Amino acid sequence: MSSVKKVLLLGSGGREHAIAWKLSQSLKVDTVYVAPGNGGTALEETKIINVDLSITNGETISEWCHQQQISMVVVGPEAPLKDGIVDFLQCQQLLCFGPSKAAARIEWDKCYAKQLMQKCNIPTANWKSFTQLREAFDYIESLKAPQYVIKANGLAAGKGVTVCQCQEIAKAAIFDILINNKFGEKKVIIEEYLEGDEISVLAFCDGKNASMMPIAHDYKRLQDGDVGPNTGGMGAFAPYKKISHEDALFIRNEIIIKIVALLKELGDPYVGVLYAGIMLTKDGPKVLEFNCRFGDPEAQVILRLLKNDIYDIMVDCINQGLNHSMIQWYPDSMVGVVLASNGYPGPSEAGFPIYGINQAVKVAGVKIFHAATTVEEVECCVKILTKKGRVMTITAKGRNLQLASLIAYRAVRLISFNGMICRKDIGDDLLPDSSRLQSLTYKESGVDIEAGNDLVETIKSMVKTTARPGCNEEIGGFSVSLNYYDAGYQYPSIIVTTDGVGTKLMISQEMNYHDTIGIDLVAMSVNDLLARGAEAIAFLDYISYSALDRNIIEKILAGIVCGCNLAGCSLVGGESAQMPGLYSVGKYDLAGFAVGLVERSYDLPKIELVVPGDQLIGIASSGIHSNGFSLIRRIVQHNQLNYGMPCPFFVKARHNQKDSLSLGHALLHPTKIYCKSLLPILRSSLVKAYAHITGGGLVDNVSRILPKHCKAVIDARSWEMQDVFRWISSKGNICADEMMRTFNCGIGAVIICDGKHYTSLIKMLASSREDYWPIGTVERYELGDGKVEIHHLEEVLRHQNNHMVVETTSTLSPPKFRLAVFISGSGTNLQAIIDYTKMEKSRAEVVLVISNVDNVAGLQRAKRCNIEHLVINHKDYVTREEFEHELQKTLTGKAIDLICLAGFMRILTPQFVNRWKGKLINIHPSLLPSFPGHKAVLQAIRAGVKVTGCTVHFVEAEVDSGPIIAQESVPILPQDTEQTLSERIKVVEHRCYSYAIHLIITDQVKYVNGRLLWQ
């Protein structure tokens, strides 16, 4: 059979859209055909295709499946199951997921289901069935109960149950079934009314085993508050958490397992999804009904919680191998809200355009599953139209039920169509009661507008000192205008930047020293403007806080004013956002926005002009600047230091008075602003490119100004590095690779110039009052090279300045960790790992590279680095076990300590993973647990989230699971495609993987019994 799997799914509802969506996530499934499908499945962009097949014509389906080489047929709705579609297709040698006609009888014959329950003592409501009207009426009249439940015996699309408050309504329902033949079978069940919470229990079944899914709660009635007629379901949520552990065990053992065992005993093994509608009464769980398929809308919420590959589960069910599956579920809550057409559940309207879907799907956590929709193309424009009945289900994921419900209804409010109806209370019955607020003023809620206005008036005189030509309006208005002509420009480009100060703020707040943090805020944005050769013209600030002393705000603003004066730009406005409850009292956050101008002829960088032989000139930083403070704070905490202690390193900028300066004040030394000193140089036509060294250190920022065919080679011995960086490296045991990717290491900016202009540029720099050094050259980039290579950094960091006090010990070097790297392609992460192991402080070495594909670039990387490499091609082995046996034999012979999967495109069996548990790591291009599996980058873009990234984790049997070692985030930009976002994620993957390996080999993190132990 072909390794590329094609699946045919029968059905057209929201349930089928959810099943198709989940099947499309399988790495083993190439195409999911849906017959006939709906508007939603027609619009899915990956793998899912609608086909025009009658789901009741077995012969047509069989012929089509054989022609298309279908690997498996999945039956969604109950009607084809009743007609025996599974039996027929199995006779045609087709793999089919769903129960046989005999097993499916448990739904389409409710009297039969009741008899089965009685036979194996499954608790259910008392009942009787009738085919004669008079007998049914007599029985109703004999009952003294206040309420009655009337059920049609056969299939009724979820609408065959009537809960009656009086005998008259009950008789009318009986009349509809027995006389009017409303549901196609003249047989009625009169059942005892049960009170309690109704739940939906679904389970995967393989004929002898059963695995329960998260318990769901659905909403059968049409209107809020559970009133109105019964429907197929107006919404659902999962998991249902009010059930006791004892009741859950009872349901599994005494209901689900019992009924599966009985059907097997009767010769009708149940294969597929079994659904039990259960009432949690005061006497315990009682079964209301069994269904022979996924519930709708339960499937829409439950399947979004499933971690596993559903194709594997279905195959295991068919092959009676469910006991080998470790089915796992996400811990989140999921809410689904059904939108229906006016008139439902009776005759309803159709053909109306649906608006707002594109906006709704962008809400984070939302996925929409279509049901009664169709797609119409009008003048090259695709319109989604309603059909009759339930139109779609809006599902939303949240960390709890309340959040999931809020997100779902946020999306619901964005969608509209003529006659749209939905319930507004999905999930409400498990949410905590809200107490009514008494009348409050805005000031009593924590926001003092008058104080804010007063502050603006106070700082106006201070802000006026920053006024400049082209930008001299008074603050306090709605906006400000910039006049580029008055600023001295003719045809400028407008450059805009934004940044913050990061966790340097936390040290400022702990020290209660706020005088210079505003300078940092300005510096981070205006220095970025220089990368385009732009002059800083205007700056705006944003300060957010809960409750903050006015004196602190004035100090922050004074620092911002100082920064604007240093940059030569005007402070034109800002926002002080008081948000009670969002921040702790005394805590705040800052953001800055800078506007710059540059004549188009001076616009930088001129990357296309950068060529091998160009010179790199480094401009001195004033210290740490404003990046890497999360790591610095960790170092201070780990070494049990405090910010008030005397500074342990020499600070040149403070006139050599180390002992009079505290550690905290030294760390808070403000970021240097280069605008006035460097702008004339950047506009001299001698400069090809300029990089501001911020987050990502020298490596990430210098690489931004290099063309693809070039690399930068830098010598760390060529400049004077401040002692603070040696102190950080020493106290934090931080390797050179991590230092250069996190900190500026003494270089605040880098300029690229032509070698023939080098002397002229040096003369200009000599008059700039900036410290500078020639630090390297541009060279030709070869496959496998690092984009920025920094030599001798480890040596420089180890060289201790006389001003530092360092504890030294003499120890033997521990043996190096032996790494094996599995690849399938270019091996860019392999190169990052190799580069890390070549760092002088690294305790790791790559001793083996294995590829399952021949002639890939990663093998050439290993060859150039003299690393043993070989190909173990999985296609050369009959079974996966034989392939992995060869892997195991090779690894054992090399005494491997750690296996790193670096783009290895084979799923390893649980046996292999368990053998190497705690010694096998992988990197995945998302912030797990979000977007596991295939096409993670595309998943993130389609989900509408704003941030994704990469995750390094220990590997466990379940795909993309296992304890997380390290993560790094990457923002998703509005214009991002799968390719552009993937490229940016790759950049951080290289850094993140090396960091994770460093944590492991330095014993900072250990894998213990499936959990991480952090030292």
Known catalytic residues are 924
- The strand pairing partners of 672, in sequence order, are none
Using CB atoms within 10 Å of the CB of residue 792, give its burial: 0 to 12 exposed, 13 to 18 middle, 19+ buried: middle
Are 823 and 905 a contacting pair, CB within 8 Å? no
Measured on CA atoms in the order 660, 666, 669, 672, is the torsion positive or negative?
A: positive
Residue 20 is given by DSSP the state: H
Q: Which two tokens stand for residue 241?
A: 């958490």
Amino acid in the structure at residue 406: L
- In 561-684, where do the E strands start and end? 570-578, 588-599, 615-620
Are 842 and 836 a contacting pair, CB within 8 Å? yes
Alpha helix stretches (DSSP H) within 497-574:
504-511, 517-530, 550-567
Q: Which two tokens stand for residue 875?
A: 């296609």
- φ, ψ of residue 991 to 5 degrees: the values are -70, -45
SS3 breakdown of the chain: % helix, strand, coil, rounded to 5? 35, 25, 40
Q: Which two tokens stand for residue 846?
A: 């790559």
- The strand pairing partners of 198, in sequence order, are 279
Q: What is the dihedral of CA 176, 180, 185, 188, to 10 degrees?
A: 30
In angstroms, the CA 262 to CA 76 distance is 24
In angstroms, the CA 151 to CA 153 distance is 6
Are 561 and 462 a contacting pair, CB within 8 Å? yes
Q: How far, rounded to the nearest angstrom, does the alpha carbon of residue 194 sit from its chain's CA centroid?
A: 42
In angstroms, the CA 151 to CA 209 distance is 30
Amino acid in the structure at residue 490: Q
- φ, ψ of residue 791 to 5 degrees: the values are -100, 150
In angstroms, the CA 714 to CA 787 distance is 11
Residue 421 is given by DSSP the state: B
In angstroms, the CA 613 to CA 590 distance is 41
In angstroms, the CA 399 to CA 422 distance is 24
Q: Which of 671, 712, 717 is nearest to 689 (CA)?
A: 712
- How many C-beta atoms surround the C-beta of residue 859 within 10 A? 22
Give how far Cα 797 sits from Cα of 16, 191, 408, 738, 800, Å: 61, 81, 53, 12, 7
Give how far Cα 856 sits from Cα of 332, 849, 870, Å: 40, 12, 11
3-state secondary structure 152-176: ECCCCCCCCEEEECCHHHHHHHHHH
- How many C-beta atoms surround the C-beta of residue 441 within 10 A? 7
Going by their DSSP bridges, the two strands 217-218 and 235-238 should be labelled as antiparallel
In angstroms, the CA 79 to CA 85 distance is 9
In angstroms, the CA 20 to CA 99 distance is 19
In angstroms, the CA 330 to CA 387 distance is 33
Q: Which two tokens stand for residue 851?
A: 């590829």
Q: Which of 184, 147, 187 is nearest to 169 (CA)?
A: 147
- In 320-365, where do the E strands start and end? 333-340
- Integer-rounded Cα radius of gyration of the chain: 34
